[in-house]
Amino acid sequence: MNLKLNMARGKPGPHQMDLAMGLLQMNDYTTDAGTDARNYGDLEGLHEARVLFADVFGVKPEEVFVGGNSSLQLMYNLINIGYVFGFPESPCPWSQVEKRKFLCPVPGYDRHFAITEEFGFELISVPMTPNGPDMDIVEKLVAEDDTIKGIWCVPQYSNPDGYTYSDETIDRMAKMKTAAPDFKIFWDEAYIVHHLTEEIIETPVLLNESKKYGTENRVFMFTSTSKITFPGAGVSAIACSENSMKYMCKRFSVMIISYDKMNQLRHVRFLKNKEGVLAHMAKHRRRLIPCFDAVKTAFAEELTPCGDIAHWTNPKGGYFISLYVMPGCAKRVAQLCKDCGLTLTGAGSAYPYHKDPEDSHLRIAPTYPSLDEVETASDLLCVCVKLAVIEKLLAEKGRVSVLFCKKSPPCRGFSARRRFIIFWRFPVSYEDERQSMAACCHSAPDRRVCLHGILWCGSQVR
């Protein structure tokens, strides 16, 4: 097909990154305190940068640590601190805890899971709901097992479902009883300002809620400007209790004197405050909404008429759409897409050890490609979903094989969205299965040839 499309990772597109090029024009690096941001010092970050991120988080500046371009690196470093040294509340370093465990709401962020897997944690899946992780399960597990040392969370516009944790879920996270005295909540606010609608969703701040119950030392909140300015040259931050801040800085001070304060100052002067961040993200939103709408429109037009073969999320923010196909089909869909030139995140990637027990989930990332590419990719994805379902429905009754899929030229009598020709074959004795096939394909076969007991069909499919 000579296609080269990619909806695998949640990357900002070039037009989004172009919006932040103005921050590179700064040449005065004198801070508000009169110091030179080009020099050593200020391990916790520039004061004005701490003020900016405190505004975004909804916490106090002294509770904020500003780092380099990667919040993932900060998460890794904190897990490493727990592994090597433990935390002030730890009976021993985590490395000395046999069969140590970490909770992973699923589907979730594969790079989170990879960190704790790297350090030898057993990853325990917890089902996600539209209100956040199933808290009945979370509370039971952490109350009974002191080898469970933490939980990964993306509380706003979760990766990949796009769910936002409810006020009740956040309150239960703050007050739940844990068997481990050093249990930690890794609270990744990656999409805290990444709204896809005019509605600005605000939720309770976990660190502030935890203070009501005396559990603030369990909380580490993270964010970054990776999907605000530049993924490769942004600024990251942590919000935590003042006690945790002191301990973290003690450990970090051996590793680094200070992070890139020049970049911190550039971001402060470009974004200014939370209001400035939201104004900047409104420009992102105008570019992203058509891409998300293109995916959802394709799904609605091409998959909904086929019955219960797929469903998907409708996020109000974030960077992803979750597509749930018929169980047992996700890997096949991803392979069909790859064969046709469309790269998706690997099926199962949103689950610990890349094992989706239902083989149903696919994470769709429509942010990086152009709108035309998103439309083409969405059409192709729908075709591949239908084909995978056809194969599954007919596999038990006879040999079914998709021969090839190619992009079709404009054809009189077909709509503009009808872009792909699919050829398949199955035994003539199962010709009555064409009704199921037609329903899944949303298109009756255009050509039929019976040869040596095989019914060969070609169909121009939308």
Please check the confidence at residue 187 and state whether its pLDDT lies above 50.
yes
**pTM of this prediction exceeds 0.85:** yes
Percent of the chain with pLDDT over 90: 81
Q: In 182-329, which residue ranges form alpha helices assigned H by DSSP? A: 206-211, 242-255, 261-271, 274-302
pLDDT average, residue stretch 420-446: 45
Q: How confident is the model at residue 118 (pLDDT cuts 50, 70, 90)?
A: very high
pLDDT at 395: 79
Q: How confident is the model at residue 423 (pLDDT cuts 50, 70, 90)?
A: very low
pLDDT average, residue stretch 69-85: 98
Average pLDDT, the chain: 88
Please check the confidence at residue 160 and state whether its pLDDT lies above 60.
yes
Please check the confidence at residue 416 and state whether its pLDDT lies above 50.
no
Please check the confidence at residue 74 and state whether its pLDDT lies above 90.
yes
The residue assigned the tokens 């559990």 is 215
Residue type, 336: L
The pLDDT tens digits for 92-111 are 999 999 999 999 999 999 99
Contact 37, 47 (CB under 8 A): no
* CB-based burial, 416-450: b 16+ in 10 Å, e otherwise: ebbbbbbbbbbeeebeebbebbbbbbbbebeeeee
Give the closest residue to 363 by CA, choosing from 433, 312, 291: 312
Residue type, 239: A
Please check the confidence at residue 91 and state whether its pLDDT lies above 90.
yes
Beta pairing partners, 427: 454
Give every CB contact of residue 345 below 8 A, 6+ residues apart in sequence.
Answer: 7, 8, 9, 110, 362, 363, 365
The pLDDT tens digits for 260-279 are 999 999 999 999 999 999 99
Q: How confident is the model at residue 432 (pLDDT cuts 50, 70, 90)?
A: very low
Please check the confidence at residue 443 and state whether its pLDDT lies above 70.
no
pLDDT average, residue stretch 289-297: 97
* 184-188/148-153 β-pairing: parallel
CA distance 97 to 236: 30
Of 438 and 214, the structure prediction assigns the larger pLDDT to: 214
Q: How confident is the model at residue 419 (pLDDT cuts 50, 70, 90)?
A: very low
pLDDT at 4: 86
The pLDDT tens digits for 340-398 are 999 999 999 999 999 999 999 999 999 999 999 999 999 999 999 999 999 998 875 65
Phi-psi bin for 444: left (phi > 0), alpha (psi -120 to 50), beta? beta
pLDDT average, residue stretch 19-43: 95
Distance from CA of residue 352 to its chain's centroid?
14
pLDDT at 99: 96
pLDDT at 1: 56
Give the closest residue to 306 by CA, choosing from 437, 139, 128: 437
Give the closest residue to 404 by CA, choosing from 387, 392, 429: 387
Q: How confident is the model at residue 426 (pLDDT cuts 50, 70, 90)?
A: very low
Contact 50, 267 (CB under 8 A): no
What are the start-end ranges of the E strands in 17-170?
A: 64-66, 101-106, 122-129, 132-133, 148-153
pLDDT average, residue stretch 10-33: 93
pLDDT at 315: 97
The pLDDT tens digits for 203-252 are 999 999 999 999 999 999 999 999 999 999 999 999 999 999 999 999 99
Please check the confidence at residue 40 and state whether its pLDDT lies above 90.
yes
The CA-to-CA distance between both ends of the chain, in Å, stands at 16
The residue assigned the tokens 């890997």 is 331
CA distance 131 to 170: 10
pLDDT at 461: 41
Phi-psi bin for 307: left (phi > 0), alpha (psi -120 to 50), beta? left
* 64-66/236-240 β-pairing: antiparallel
Phi-psi bin for 99: left (phi > 0), alpha (psi -120 to 50), beta? left
The residue assigned the tokens 């961040």 is 277
Structure-block tokens of residue 85: 């040294």
Structure-block tokens of residue 338: 């790859």
pLDDT average, residue stretch 6-20: 91
Torsion, CA 388, CA 391, CA 392, CA 398, rounded to 10: -170
Percent of the chain with pLDDT over 70: 85
